[in-house]
Amino acid sequence: MSDDAPTLRSRIHDLLSHPRLLQWLPAVAMVTCLPALWLGWLADDLAHRAVLLKHPPFVGVDPVQHLFRFLEADSVNPTMASVGLLSWWTDLDIEVSFFRPLASLTHVIDYALWPHNAVLQHLHSLLWGGLMVWCAVRFLRAVSPTPLVVGVAALFFAVEDAHVAPIAWLCNRNATIATTFSILAIHAYTRWRTGGGIRAWIGCIAAFALGLCGGETAFAALAWMAAYALTRESSVLRGLRSLIGPVVLVVVWRLAYNALGYGANGSTLYVDPGETPLLWLEAMVLRWPLLMFTQITAAPIDFWVVFDKPLRLATSALGAVVTLVALWMVWPTLRARASARMAALALAGILVPFTAGFPATRLLVLSSLAAGLLLAEVVDHHGLLRPQSDTPSGSRRVRSWMLTGMLVLHIPLSMLQRPVGCWILPQTMKPFSLAHQTLPEDENLSDKALIFLNGTEFTTIYFYVNRTEPALRQIRPQGVALLFPWWTDATVTREDAYTLVVEQEEGFLSRPIDRLFRDPSRVPFVANQRIKHFGMDVHVREITEDGRPAVVAFRFADPLEDQTHRRFAILDLDGAEYWTPPAIGTSVVVPGIL
């Protein structure tokens, strides 16, 4: 066994150091996500289709400007509210809109050339994924002289399973576009700092600008440039001066971003550092350890949005502990190599702007390039794959086991996870499309409002936009509405002929996912607050200590049994069905799904 070990180590070393490996990695990245070609349109893709194909109520909407303008007080919110797509608890002044004209333009091209061919649209996204890896390989070759470091880092990045959603989910294409140009910008910056001249500097600024037009996540490229400036320049002052151009570009971009009305304000899930810096700092403290945790362990964190507060705090604490353990593992390499310090600072800094959004594995695209480079530097420094090396002991032995585990986790297992992840992706979104897929058809529904007793905001939105698709030939209601989130138990009481009273365990809006359209800590409810909503009057009778509704009455204009203008539906994980209100004076308990 001991005689075979050096031979195996030598073969792995030679494979990872071989230049031909790098040539094949873009193809490997695309082939491992090939099942994405048959995923069709998922979740937000359906909203994009409604805008791009100009289905009501999105007639006359400019897709380049509005494809990622999800919520906006002056135009988008009234349009959505006109058919009930905003829940009754929505803060109508909320803003969640992103300036991504380059990404939007790629979707406009798709719908100009092949509007009803999802396979070709997915192929387009797949090609962006391959191009992103090709750019990463070129960058790694330029930034490291060691073939093993380049090979490990490039393979890590090419098969990273966190890239599945950006490649396989059409509406998330902006992430691969922004990352591709971010890598080009960082590459040009490092060439400029190593004697590339003014052309390299212009290339850096141009690529950075295109990245920011692809998605605001390109802002993270500045973190890598700063990491290079602080670790590879002859002096800190010289390094900081080199950042003037990129920083000026970011300032100009942000001023234009604000002037055009883009940004996020009023949502718990999206916290804009430019709009609410103190709230963002609070979010960063909790979210950064989570992002680092999943970057290190490859553990999914996408269900964070449905965790209760104690569990959210516990996972953040766990992330901090795992980060400290990982820091211990890489510490000797950080002390010995400036290149490792650059990668570590880049990784830490890249994650910072991503804390503006809710934690999700799909955010770890550019950060995975820094993580791969750092791991590769540690592997090389530690001699883990050196053909002939002494058997480690003590702390070196522990580090060897940890490094081996991370290599296995992030390369072969991650590679296998990519096609599986393509299959899992639509399954994770299935609960939000259950109502559309399972509610029995009612030929008279087009003349009525459909009131979902429970569900999520996505339940109503996806139900409605799915039925704007003429090819599906499904009946679309006049509008939709939602009474309460479905995560926890709720008691529904029939107070009189016209009124339902709902009391929900833990109160309404108890989970982060329910606060997309309103941050109750900033815009709290008050007792006896009244809201006119699509087809009903809402009366918030009692509130929780933190300003969330606790007991809410919903009064309709007609008796609840009258189906002339409205039908009720109820939802669970098995699907949706029409719902009959209970008798006056009686109550029913609607079980939560958690």
Total domains, the chain? 2
Tell me whether residue 574 is exposed, middle or buried, using C-beta atoms within 10 angstroms of its C-beta: 0 to 12, 13 to 18, 19 or more: exposed
Q: Give the pLDDT score at 535.
A: 83
Q: Is the confidence at residue 4, as pLDDT, over 90?
A: no
Q: Do 451 and 397 share a structural domain?
A: no
Residue type, 403: L
Q: Indicate if the pLDDT at residue 3 is higher than 60.
A: no
- Asked if residue 161 is part of any domain, the answer here is yes
Asked if residue 38 belongs to a domain, the reply is: yes
Q: Does 461 lie in the same domain as 534?
A: yes
- 57 preceded by cis ω (within 30°)? yes
pLDDT at residue 527 tops 50: yes
- What is the DSSP secondary structure assignment for residue 582, as one 8-state letter? P
Cβ pair 479, 84 in contact under 8 A: yes
CB distance 471 to 590 below 8 Å: no
Write the CA distances from 189 to 221, 342, 376, 441, 528, integer angstroms: 10, 14, 22, 58, 58
Place of tokens 């003590």: 394
In the three-class reduction of DSSP (H, G, I as helix; E, B as strand; rest coil), residue 18 is classed as coil
90 assigned to some structural domain:
no
Side-chain-facing half-sphere of 542: CA atoms under 13 Å: 11
User: With contact defined as beta carbons under 8 Å apart, do 287 and 352 qualify?
Assistant: no
215 found inside a domain = yes
CA–CA dist 36, 122 (Å, integer): 7
pLDDT for 1 equals 39
> Under 8 Å CB-to-CB from 394, ≥6 apart: which residues?
none
Angle between helix axes 277-297 and 366-382 (nearest 10 degrees) is: 50
The one-letter amino acid code at 183 reads I
Q: At what angle do helices 221-231 and 366-382 cross, to 10 degrees?
A: 30
Handedness of CA 517, 520, 521, 525 (dihedral sign): positive
Q: Which residue has the tokens 């002494």?
A: 390
Structural domain that includes position 185: 4-84+96-428
Same domain, yes or no, for 420 and 549? no
Query: 205: which 2 tokens?
Result: 């600024």
pLDDT digits (tens, 9 = 90+) for 540-549: 999 999 999 9
**Is residue 370 in a domain?**
yes
| DSSP state at residue 270 | -
Q: What's residue 290's pLDDT? A: 97
DSSP code of 302?
G
Based on the domain organization, do 408 and 493 belong to the same domain? Answer: no
433 occurs within a structural domain: no
In angstroms, how far is CA 366 from the centroid of its own chain?
13
Q: Does some domain include residue 189?
A: yes
Could you give the 3-state DSSP secondary structure of residue 301?
Answer: coil
Q: How many residues does the chain have?
A: 594
Q: Is the pLDDT of residue 451 over 90?
A: yes
Strand, helix or coil at 152?
A: helix
Same domain, 314 and 201: yes
Q: Which of 158-172, 381-395, 463-477 has the highest mean pLDDT?
A: 158-172
**Domain-terminating residue out of 428, 453, 483:** 428
Instruction: Decide which of 398, 428, 458 is a domain's last residue.
Output: 428
| Mean pLDDT calculated for residue range 295-316 | 94
pLDDT for residue 390 is more than 70: no
Q: Is the domain of 410 the same as that of 478?
A: no
Instruction: Give the Cβ contact number of residue 466 at 10 Å.
Output: 20
**Average pLDDT score over the chain:** 93
Say whether both 383 and 460 belong to one domain: no
Residues 6+ apart with CB under 8 A from 243: 222, 225, 226, 229
End residue of a domain, out of 428, 447, 473: 428
**Do 134 and 115 share a domain, yes or no?**
yes
**Cβ–Cβ under 8 Å, residues 442 and 467:** no
Scan for tokens 């992002």, then name that residue. 291
Q: Do residue 379 and residue 447 come from a single domain?
A: no
Please give the pLDDT value at position 388: 64
pLDDT at 539 over 60: yes
The identity of residue 440, as a single letter, is: P
Judge whether 121 and 10 are in contact, CB under 8 Å.
no
pTM surpassing 0.75? yes
Tell me the per-residue pLDDT of 239-293, one tens digit each, with 9 for 90 and over.
999 999 999 999 999 999 999 999 999 998 999 998 889 999 999 999 999 999 9
**Residue 2: what pLDDT?**
47
Same domain? 460 vs 423: no
- Assess contact for 295 and 351: CB atoms under 8 A: yes
Rg of the chain, C-alpha, whole Å: 26
- DSSP class of residue 570? E
Rounded-to-10 torsion of CA 424, 360, 252, 128:
-20
Q: What is the pLDDT of residue 594?
A: 85
H-run or E-run covering 410: helix 394-410
Does any domain span residue 434? Answer: no
| 320: phi then psi, degrees, rounded to nearest 5 | -65, -40
CA gap 297, 413 in Å, rounded:
12
Task: Summarize the confidence of residues 514-533 as an average pLDDT.
Answer: 94
pLDDT more than 90, % of the chain: 81
> Residue 467: helix, strand or coil by DSSP?
coil
Residues 211 and 334 in one domain: yes
Q: Which of 5-14, 414-423, 448-457 has the lowest mean pLDDT?
A: 5-14
**DSSP string across 486-499:** SSS-EEEEE-SSSE
Q: Partners of 551 in the beta sheet?
A: 503, 542
How many CA atoms lie less than 13 Å away from 141 in the CB half-sphere?
Answer: 14
- 379 and 337 fall within a common domain: yes
Q: What is the mean pLDDT of residues 355-361?
A: 95
Q: Three-state DSSP class for 53?
A: coil
